[in-house]
Amino acid sequence: MLISQYRGENKTYKEIGIVLGISAERVRQILHDLPKQKYCKNHERHYFNFCGICKNEADFKHILENIKNGKIDDHIQRLCGRGRTKALNIQRTLLVKKLRDEYKHSFLKIAELLKRDPSTIMHLYRKVL
């Protein structure tokens, strides 16, 4: 179990030190050196370095503008593929969320754009965001 998990259970440094066989001061040093978790209010998520969804939103700004203007470029074609990497799934989910919320596209229209079943698009929309 991690020291931070013990701390989450409201144990004192001394209690954690006894369990792990180290001093209370060493526990304090270790906890002080851990990266601080931040909170993204926009997406209601915790992160350490940057919010992955905010980063993807910035990357997709130009793609979304092309969709709004009726242009489908290579990036959209890449998202239509069958790839299942984590980054690609986050990008697809973000795209579905943006198309639905900001551009008021129907699930059917989004499904046709991404060459997916409408129920899959509905699941993506509700799953993460």
Q: Which domains does the chain have, with CATH numbers?
A: 3-34 (no CATH), 50-127 (1.10.1750.10)
- pLDDT at position 1: 47
Question: Per-10-residue mean pLDDT for the chain, 129 residues long?
Answer: 69 88 89 75 70 70 68 70 80 83 88 90 80
Distance CA 76, CA 124 (A): 16
Tell me the pTM: 0.50
Using CA of residue 68, residue 70, residue 75, residue 80, what is the dihedral sign? positive
CB contact at 8 A, 107 and 100: yes
Give pLDDT, residue 114: 87
Separation CA 23–CA 14 (nearest Å)? 7
> Looking at residue 23, what is its pLDDT?
93
